[in-house]
Structures are given as structure tokens and as C-alpha cells.
Amino acid sequence: MSVRDDRTTRRDPLVYLVLVAGLVLTITPFLVMISTSFTDQSLVLELPPKLLPADPTTRNYTDALSSSGFALYFANSAVVAVATVAGVLLLSSMMAFAFARFTFPGKSVLFGALMAALMIPGMILILPQFLVARDLGLIDSRLGLVLFYIGAQLAFITFLLRGFFQSVPKELEEAMELDGAGPWRVYWNLMLPLSRPALATAAIFTFLGAWDEFAWALTIINDPDKRTLPIAIALFQGQYSTSWGLVFAASVIAVVPVIVIFVFFQRHFVSGLRSGALKG
Amino acid sequence: MSVLASEATARPAPVPVRGSGPRGPRLSTRLRAARVPYLFLLPGFAVFVLVMAYPMAQAFRISLHEWNILPGAESTFVGIANYLRALEDPVFWKALVNTGVYMLATVPAQLALGMLVALLLNRAIKGRTWFRALYYLPVVTSWVVVSLLFRYLFVTDAGLVNYVLVDILHVTDTRIAWLQNRWTAMVAICALGIWKGVGWSMIIFLAALQNVPKELTEAAELDGASPTRRFFSVVLPMLRAAVAFVTIMLVIGGFNAFTSIYLMTGGGPGNDTQVLLTYMYEQAFDFLDFGYGSSIAYILTLIVFALSVVQFRVFRYSEED
């Protein structure tokens, strides 16, 4: 063991060098974004580029926040993302429970259909999905966003949770059943509480997917009052074609919740992945 | 490739449906019990059929028509005319080539870099958690934000990329008009794809590396195997499932690339940076040609399906070695 430790230590400088070099490439764009968001519009894209703006200003932030609708777009995104998370967690955990704990005719066909959906790039369905949404009167509706986000994420989250549910020892369940508990109580009072780490992982994936989604929202939302943040930011860029400071101030505001959630759930995240998707 | 094949092979039969045992209760109770798993599946599958399965079938039907998008209007059946049109459409071929280029550039790079970072982080070094979190940051940042950001970095006159190349590294004297030419624009688009995806491969590989027993690598080390040898002969074979999973997901993700191209170049200049999805989208929502758009979507589906079959074979054969 000590031999190994010595060698690891000796190789450390090179390891750090590579890791730090990669890190610089990874985070420089973020630093540029933050720096530009604090730069006055007249000084954006000046040469040489400055990592710290010479005369930092918060004007881009106040402009973005006071621009018409920004608070509304933020609220729209939050409502849509939270509703999507709730819907996906409920529906997927129910399906995962059925697949993990029951045998029934048609099981492998149904599971195969879900897995097949994982194997196609979701975007190819956008034309017929648009027609479905239109026929259901879901154009320009937040429900239209939520419903289709749920549908798009169901398969993966079911797969993730099924893996976790299968790892829950059966003895606990059998003990509950001896006490007369039916399948619904086992699901609600045993499976879900035991699966918190997996559910947290699933919640992050789902939240990010809904919070960041662009193409579907671009397609069905025309009403400015229903816009989500990604649409609003993309339009910021068209609306004020050179106002990069404003674009990036809005971007930073949109990215912050994601980072907060990610940092908060980080611990669950890797462990949830390990127990779910990558077993065997 | 047990990640996805486990349903058919690995799992022991789950507990029997409650109340259905040989000495079970009355028939009506047993029927009610037999209904239970379907009730658990019902709400999820209702949404799934409406949002995924039905549109999948509908896309094929649309692709065989000159589709009239007015609600309730009649559409003309044109057979495979839309598919034949694609084969003779130079922009379709250009989009197909660009999609292939994007795939060939981004998938191997994400695999290799993700693996490299995962291996470096899979040891007791200071700041491991921080490295991991920061490398993962691009993954959790929205495509819209990073696409605009990369567009800004690749601006011709005062963009950071040109500044570094011209004024710091002195690689070239002229500022490259990155987003105004086909291949330089593809470089920028692919750079974004790689930058955004490395963290994802890394996290999956890190998770998988935890399952490689230390004893194995230590034994190989005592036998005098070099680090390279240890990786290829000991570690990599243990990661087969993870590599297969990541590769398949990256290929599917590569075909799903849309937002970055839409926001960085809009498929331009001309149609030079169209990929299949941006071209499909343009045909459908700019020219309202849903029939042609759907045929492009279906061709893409067939390519993905064929590639998946090939990948499953490759990974399964290597598993049998």
C-alpha cells in the first residue's frame, strides 16, 4: 500500500497540470460570461478582452430584471419545471414499481417499448407532436410544455428508478405484507421513502431538462406571456442584436438556480447514478 | 452490454403477484390482484402513448403525404416521393454530411476526454470534489446559454478565440471569420458539443470506476504492467458496460443536436451548416412542408436504428471474447 501511495504522490504534479489545464478550458467561457455581464455595453468586445471589467456595472442586471416580462419568464420556467418534476417522479416511480416488483403478461413488450424510446433522438418527433398539441388545444399553453416534457423524460427516469427499486431488499416488503399492507401502501410508504437518493437524482435530471428546454417551447409558444427563460434569452439576442452584456446578465440569472440545485443535490447525484443506471 | 439487456437475461423472476398463489383467495380477488401492475403502469403509459408512441407512428404516415397542416384538411398521398426528393436534394446531403462530421468529431473526443478526466480524478487528490463539480458545470448549463456564449467567443473581430490565436499564440495573423464559413463554423459547433459533453462522460466513467476492484490494478502493478497497459488490459475491460452505454447515448445525442446550430449559425451561411434536424425544422416550420420534414426525420431514425444495431453487436461480441 505504501509503495502505491509514494508513486501516486510522485505523479501528482503532472496529474494536477493536466486537470488544471482542462479546468481552464472548461470554465473560461463562464468567466467570460460573468465578466461581460458586468461590462457596460459600450465596452463589450473591446480589445484586448479583460477578465475583470475596468469599470464594472450592474446595469445589465437591472436592465434585464426590469425589462418587460423577465420576472414572468422566470416564473413560467419555474412553474413548468416543478410541475414536470412532480409529474415525472410520480408516473415514472409507479411504472418502475410495476416493472421491478411484478410479473405480468406483456411486461417485456411494454418495457421494451419504453427502452426503444430511449434509443431515438427525441427531436425527430417534434412535427407530429406539434400536430398533437394543436389538436388538443395546447399551443401557447404551459400545460402543453409540461405534458410533453413529462412524456419525453418518462422512459429514462423509469429505467433509472427501476434499477434502484430492484436493489431494495424484498424482506422489508414481505414484512409489510404480513402486516396486511397492499401494493399501494408498499409503494407509497416503503418504496418511495427508501428511494430518496434515486428520486433526488431523477428530480435533478428532470428539472434540468425542463428548465433548459428550447426547441419545443420555441415551437408551441408564441404568446409572450407564456415564454420560458430559454426562449426569452434567445430572443434577447435577436431583439438587441449587440447587447451581449444584457444577454449574459439574463443568462447568469437563468443559470444560478441550476447551479444552486446542482450543488445542493450533488452528493445524491453520483450515488444515485451508480445505483441506478449502471448496475451490472 | 448488460445495462439495457438486463431485462431479458439477468433478472430473477420478481415476487409473484399478490394473492395469486395456488392456495389463493377467490377468483374475483385474484383478478383484482392481477390488475394491479397495469394500474401502476396506466397513467405513465397514457402520457407515453400520446406524446411519444402515437407521434412516432404519425410521423411515418405524414412522411408519405404531401401534408396539409390545416386542421381537418385532406392531404395527398404521395407514397415515397418525399424520400426520393431527399435523395436528390443537395441540401439534404450536405446536412447528412454535417451530421456525420459532428458525430465523428464529438463522440470520440467526449469519450476520450471524459475517460481521461475520470481516470485522473479517480484517486485521492486534493480538491477532487471541486474538480468534479466544475468539470460538470457545462453539462448542467442550458444549451441556449452556452450556444450564445460560444457565438460570442467566436466573434470575428474581438472574440476571445481569435484574440488568443492572433495576439497571444500568434498562430495566425488574420482573424478567422469562424461562423461565416462552413468548416470553420463546424469547428466552432463541434467545439461546443465537446466542451459541453465531456463532464457527462466523466461522471458516468467515474461512477463505473468505483466498481473496479483496487486489488486488480494493484496486482497488475506488482506484475510490472505499465500504466497504459494496466488501463487497456485491466481497467478498460471492466468498464465495458459503461463505455457501451456512453457511446450509444453520445451517438443518439449527436443526432439530437439542434439548439447549438440553430442559435450559432441558423444552418447558415446559406445552408452550409445545416444538420438533419435543423433542416427538418426549417422545412416544417418555415416552409410548412411537414411531409418532407417527416421523411427527413424518418431517414434519421433509420440511420440511428442501424447504428444502434451495429453498436449492440460490437459491444456484445467484445463481451464474448
| Angle at which helices B54-63 and B290-320 cross, to 10° | 120
Q: Output the pLDDT for position B48.
A: 96
Q: Which three cell numbers stand for residue A52?
A: 475583470
Are residues A54 and A87 part of one domain? Answer: no
Upper half-sphere CA count for residue A177 (Cβ side, 13 Å): 13
Model confidence band, residue B319 (pLDDT cutoffs 50, 70, 90)? low
Between chains, do B258 and A115 touch, taking CB under 8 Å as contact?
Answer: no
pLDDT tens, residue by residue, B35-48:
899 999 999 999 99
Domain stop point among A40, A58, A76: A58
Residue B13 pLDDT grade (very low, low, confident, very high; cuts 50, 70, 90): very low
Enclosing domain of residue A102: 61-275
Q: Number of helices (H) and strands (E), helices first, in chain B?
A: 16, 2
pLDDT score recorded for residue B2: 37
Q: Are residues A11 and A122 in the same domain?
A: no
What pLDDT is recorded for position A273? Answer: 56
Shared-domain flag, residues A36 and A136:
no
Looking at residue B104, its pLDDT comes to 95
Residue type at B70? Answer: L
Interface probe with B: pick from A14, A30, A124, most Cβ of B within 10 Å: A124
Give how far B53 is from chain A: nearest CA, Å. Answer: 8
Same domain, A70 and A208: yes
Residue B138 and residue B196 in contact, taking contact as beta carbons nearer than 8 Å: yes
The pLDDT, as a whole number, for residue A54 is 76
Confirm if A256 and A77 have CB atoms less than 8 A apart.
no
A149 shares a domain with A76: yes
The length of chain B in residues reads 321
Q: Are residues A82 and A121 in the same domain?
A: yes
What is the tally of structural domains in chain A?
2
Is residue A280 assigned to a domain? no
Residue B172 or residue A193, greater confidence: A193
Residues in A closer than 8 angstroms to B11, CB to CB, are 166
Those residues of chain A that have pLDDT short of 50 are 1-9, 276-280
Q: What is the pLDDT of residue B3?
A: 39
**What is the length of chain A?**
280
pLDDT at B24: 53
DSSP state of A67: S
Residue A262, C-beta contacts closer than 8 angstroms, at least 6 positions apart: A204, A269, B133, B136, B140
Q: Over the stretch A26-46, which tens digit does the pLDDT of each residue have?
A: 999 999 999 999 988 777 777
Maximum separation of any 2 CA atoms in chain B, in Å: 87
Judged by average pLDDT, the poorest of A249-258, B216-225, B256-265, B299-308 is: B216-225
CATH number assigned to the domain comprising residue A149: 1.10.3720.10
Q: Where does chain B hold its CATH 1.10.3720.10 domain(s)? A: 84-320
Structural contact between residues B193 and B106, judged by C-beta atoms closer than 8 angstroms = yes
In the chain, the amino acid numbered A259 is I
A27 neighbourhood in chain B, CB within 8 Å: 134, 137
pLDDT of the residue at B5 = 39
Q: Who among A97, A111, A123 is closest to B7 (CB)?
A: A111
Instruction: Name which of A101, A180, A108 is nearest B17 in CA terms.
Output: A101
Same domain membership, residue A89 and residue A44: no
Give the CATH fold of the B84-320 domain. MetI-like fold (1.10.3720)
Q: Across the interface, do A266 and B123 touch by the CB < 8 Å criterion?
A: no
Closest-CA residue to B120 (of A18, A166, A37): A18
Contact A33 B149 (CB under 8 A): yes
The answer to the question of residue A248 being in a domain is yes
Could you report the per-residue pLDDT of B91-139, keeping only the tens digit for each?
A: 999 999 999 999 999 999 999 999 999 999 988 788 888 888 899 999 9
Who has greater pLDDT, B90 or B28?
A: B90
Q: What pLDDT is recorded for position B75?
A: 82
Cβ separation A132–B14 shorter than 8 A: no
CA–CA dist B259, B263 (Å, integer): 6
Q: What is the mean pLDDT of residues B10-22?
A: 46
A9 and A136 belong to one structural domain: no
Greatest Cα pair distance, chain A, in angstroms, is: 74
- Dihedral of the alpha carbons of A211, A216, A217, A219, in degrees to the nearest 10: 170
Name the band, by pLDDT with cuts 50, 70 and 90, for residue B318.
low
Quote the pLDDT of residue A277: 45
Q: Are A39 and A66 part of one and the same domain?
A: no
Residue in chain B closest to A210 (alpha carbons) equals B142
Residues A66 and A6 in one domain: no
Q: Which of A41, A58, A75 is the last residue of a domain?
A: A58
Has residue B320 got a pLDDT over 70?
no
Q: A213 and A84 in contact (C-beta within 8 Å)?
A: no
CB contact under 8 A, B37 and A104: yes
Whether residues A252 and A118 fall in one domain: yes
The mean per-residue pLDDT over the stretch B138-155 comes to: 92
User: Residue B145 pLDDT > 70, yes or no?
Assistant: yes
Write phi, then psi, for B279 (nearest 5 degrees): -70, -45
**Per-residue model confidence (pLDDT) at position A24:** 94
End-to-end CA distance of chain B: 13
On whether the CB atoms of residues A279 and B5 are closer than 8 A, the answer is no
Average pLDDT over residues B269-277: 93
Are A237 and A147 within one domain? yes
